[in-house]
A and B are shown apart, each in its own frame.
Chain A
Amino acid sequence: MDNEYAIEMRNITKKFPGIIANDNITLQLKKGEIHALLGENGAGKSTLMSVLFGLYQPEEGSIYKYGKEVKINDPNDANDLGIGMVHQHFKLVQCFTVLDNIILGVETTKNGILQKAEARKKVQELSDKYGLKVDTEAKIEDITVGMQQRTEILKMLYRDNEILIFDEPTAVLTPGEIDELMAIMKGLAKEGKSILFISHKLNEIMEVADRCTVLRRGKYIGTVEVKNTTKEELSKMMVGRDVEFEVTKTEAKPGDVVLSVEGMTVASSLHHNNAVKNVSFKVRHGEIVCIAGIDGNGQTELVYGLSGLEPLVSGKITLSGKDITNASIRERSKSGMSHIPEDRHKHGLVLDYPLSYNMVLQRYFEDQFSTKAGFLKKGAINEYSDRLIEEYDVRSGQGSATKARSMSGGNQQKAIIARELDKNPDLLLAVQPTRGLDVGAIEFVHKQLVAQRDKGHAVLLVSLELEEVLSVSDRILVMYEGEIVGEFDPKTTSREELGLYMSGAKRMEVKV
């Protein structure tokens, strides 16, 4: 019997100890369509995909390909069925060429010798057919993220996969590259490939997808035709309530300069060049300044330099009139700097410590939390932690005693935000504070940033999300290859304009 569904997952239930990750979920992917899978973190998207890839066996439900039941026991089975995936973090060998990466694992050999010419021809054909421009002989480490992603797509096509899964593919791309990817996906669908597009970016889903399946807390909420729905409706399905997309805030009233950076240069830990080159800017009381840019253009090192995690090669940093260029991390913290770090697991939390210990990570040495003899005041620490948990609505299994490791990403982030904001800092460094958070949590973080500004404090936000940059900030600085290449007013600029500067196509002189 002919069936229009390229892949059908019927009534999938996957349980983990104490939690139902997928509760009776049905996903029907038509041949030649782009089907979006939408849901917050923890909604069960990854579990569902892992079931499709044979990494997990569901307790109930079954998978059909064109109406015929199939059994997927491991990723090899999935591959045999023509299912391929572009992971969020690419799985490429950095020092291999594009071609080597594409044929890796399915090499054509003759008497044990690689036959690359044949492979190159096939890759070239695929590349032309779908408009996937790559330089087959370039090494992965030398090419752009966009081209790396196209390499990943070619990898799937080279293996003759017809069901293509894209896991949050746009997170690492520039606006221009996103447009290109959307065009490529449409082209692939037109050629009869079936695409599953995992995302929580509503704009992209509205633009490219034909249908959209929404999951919430492991449950199937529904599948809608994208052309018959709206962003608001989708977000309501995803979150279960109305969400404010627009960050409501009043006009900024910038006051005196809090942070002044002059000619800052920071070395890179990855290569021999400087990651931040002679950067100067100011942040004032009562404003949110946002550093926009594509990942890897020196934002991380800029923050390391400001927070004291890395020493400066040259330049001067002044915080509230005090020269902190050579100050230690602790002195900076005591001088009124708070830092929501980019990587909450690496820097932000001691995951094996209980929440209470993490809440005082920046102030355990203060008199209120330790005695002069060097003993911890556990009672005071717990009380303080309980208060922050209450105030910032941090949810955890056993309150202050919960190990940070066992908390959800959103609540870990809330704990860090609570800790950093409660220091009442003059300057808040917030680096990608909404990374990996769901819509509801993002709303919370944005409100906190604006509240901080309204209290008259300065906020320096580093973000890779243009939506966030445009909606939250009062002033935008664009960073490209370690330099500030443009300053913009969010009310008068556009995604497109920022994109040109972020990709290095345009630049302007920025006066401090």
Chain B
Amino acid sequence: MKKKQLGILAIPEVQTIVSSLLCILVGLVIGYIVLLIINPAGATEAIITVLKNYFNYPSGPAIMKYLGNTLVKTAPLLMCALSIQFCYKTGLFNIGAAGQYVAGAGASLFLALQLGMPWYVCLIASGLAGAALAFIVGVLKAYANVNEVISGIMLNWIGLYTVNMLLTGVKETASPYTVTIASTNPTALLPNMGLDKLFTNNKYVTIAIPLAIITAIVIWVILNKTVFGYELQATGFNKDAAKYSGMKEKKNIILTLVIGGALAGFGAGFLYLTGYEQWSVTQSAVPDMGFNGIAATFLGGLHPIGTIFASYFIQHITSGGAYLDKNIYPSQISDLISAIIIYLCGFVLFFKLFLNKRIRQRVENANAAKEGGEKK
């Protein structure tokens, strides 16, 4: 009602966008400073390289092709971010998304390579595997009040080594990587539906990308328009009030995590079933996709649509980091720069808080002035 007199900054969506942009800016500045400290000579060029990502290529077709690659990895990141966001909205911090992602990768690759299943079976299996892992977290949380962060992190590791073990049977003889889907079972590759043509015949560009975006929109609708979303968020905001009003708060907690787990699991399917990456069965670290999802969801202002753009941005600079000159900077620098920016994404809420405080002051001042004026 008072939006006019306060300007567009009073609109929550605008606030979120402004805060996110501020975060990115601060992150870039700090990243730049770090580069300056390591080697002042190449810093400016380096930061531009990171930001340019695929624009580092001279020709239009090449740019499109590598844009495709960035998008291929954006899809799983977006799914992990949505997983974390969906759970966060109901008051749960699903740090286990990383492990659910691993479970999804394991299930989809095992079905594709070992059992020779077609892509849709593999994809569904990836979602189910993520959901199954999250179900354990949900039951523990609902019935034994075990903190979902603790049980989630522990399951991350159980998931990782189980998957490593499971996929040892389908690895290449000379390397720790799983055999390629294209050579073993091409029916398990996600269909391109002609999307590859748009990106200079980048065969990794599949329906995964539009599916991830559609998922984001569906999540937004569920949270904002449905009874289900109303119940889940009420449970998240205030478990006791949810119980008081007759909601099944235990069921809601489990269901939330199961859906979150399925989202992360699908994310893994969206990446590994394109054939873009192979799984290394000797890896001893949980893939950071699930953790980057945390940053993406916060940078996206905890809004499914914002998260689409945030996921893209984070993947953009992560991919861009690969183009840094390895002679000037150690190869970890690209990870460091993106890590700094991702870390600062958490400040979105802080900036929002600050903005809101300013605005509330102005509203109250305005109200006070108004009340003073029309005192009976």
Please list the residues of chain A having a beta carbon within 8 angstroms of any beta carbon in chain B.
17-20, 307, 309, 328-331, 333, 339, 341, 346-353, 357, 361-362, 364-365, 370, 374-376, 378, 397-398
Contact = CB atoms under 8 A, between A and B. Distances in A.
B1 interface: yes
Contacts of B365: 17-18
B364 A17 contact: yes
B241 A309 contact: no
Interface string B205-233: 00000000000000000000111101001
B234 interface: yes
Contact of A357 (B225, B230, B243, B247): B230
26 contacts: A18-B364, A18-B367, A19-B364, A307-B244, A309-B244, A328-B246, A329-B244, A329-B245, A329-B246, A330-B245, A330-B246, A341-B244, A347-B240, A348-B241, A349-B241, A350-B241, A351-B238, A352-B237, A361-B234, A362-B246, A370-B227, A374-B227, A375-B227, A376-B225, A376-B230, A397-B367
Nearest to B363: A18
B237 A361 contact: no
B368 interface: yes
B240 A362 contact: no
What 7 pairs between A and B have smallest CB-CB spacing? A18-B364, A330-B246, A347-B244, A17-B361, A329-B246, A361-B245, A352-B237
Nearest to A17: B361
A365 B226 CA distance: 10
Given A349-B241, A353-B233, A374-B226, 13 more contacts: A17-B365, A18-B361, A18-B368, A307-B244, A329-B243, A329-B245, A329-B246, A346-B241, A350-B242, A357-B234, A362-B246, A375-B227, A378-B225
B242 to A, nearest CB: 8
B315 to A, nearest CB: 31
Contacts of B197: none
B326 interface: no
Contacts of B1: 398
A348 B244 contact: yes
A364 B233 CA distance: 13
B227 A365 contact: yes
Interface of B: 1, 225-228, 230, 233-234, 237-238, 240-247, 360-361, 363-365, 367-368
Contacts of B367: 18, 397
A361 B230 CA distance: 10
> Residue among A309, A370, A374 with the most chain B CB within 10 A?
A374
A108 B360 CA distance: 48
Nearest to A398: B1
B226 A375 contact: yes
A104 to B, nearest CB: 31
- Looking at B227, B241, B363, B368, the one whose CB has the most chain A CB atoms below 10 A away is B241
Given A17-B360, A18-B364, A346-B240, A364 B230 contact: yes
Contacts of B228: 374
Nearest to B2: A398
A377 to B, nearest CB: 10
Nearest to A399: B1
Nearest to B247: A330
A416 to B, nearest CB: 10
A16 to B, nearest CB: 8
A375 B244 contact: no
A350 B365 CA distance: 27
A32 B225 CA distance: 63
* Most chain B CB neighbours (cut-off 10 Å) among A19, A341, A350: A350
Contacts of A375: 225-227
Which of B227, B247, B365 has the most CB atoms of chain A within a 10 A radius of its CB?
A: B227
Contacts of B244: 307, 309, 329, 339, 341, 347-348
A365 B227 CA distance: 7
Nearest to A307: B244
A307 B241 CA distance: 13
Given A309-B243, A309-B244, A339-B244, A364 B227 contact: yes
Contacts of A353: 233-234, 237
Contacts of A339: 244
Given A330-B246, A362-B245, A19 B368 contact: yes
Nearest to A346: B240
B151 to A, nearest CB: 24
A331 B248 CA distance: 12
A376 B222 CA distance: 10
B19 to A, nearest CB: 19
A457 B242 CA distance: 26
Contacts of A346: 238, 240-241
A353 B234 CA distance: 8
B349 to A, nearest CB: 14
Nearest to B229: A376
A37 B22 CA distance: 48
Contacts of B247: 330
A346 B242 CA distance: 10
Contacts of A330: 245-247
Nearest to A331: B246
A374 B229 CA distance: 10
B284 to A, nearest CB: 41
A347 B246 CA distance: 11
Contacts of B225: 375-376, 378
A424 B225 CA distance: 28
A366 to B, nearest CB: 10
A376 B227 contact: yes
A260 B1 CA distance: 49
Nearest to A339: B244
A197 to B, nearest CB: 31
B361 A347 contact: no
A18 B234 CA distance: 30
Nearest to A365: B227
A341 B243 CA distance: 12
A378 B226 CA distance: 10
A348 B234 CA distance: 12
A443 to B, nearest CB: 21
A397 B245 CA distance: 25
Nearest to A332: B246
A97 B61 CA distance: 79
A374 B230 CA distance: 10
A300 to B, nearest CB: 13
B237 A350 contact: yes
Contacts of A329: 243-246
Nearest to B360: A17
A353 B360 CA distance: 18
Contacts of B246: 328-331, 333, 362
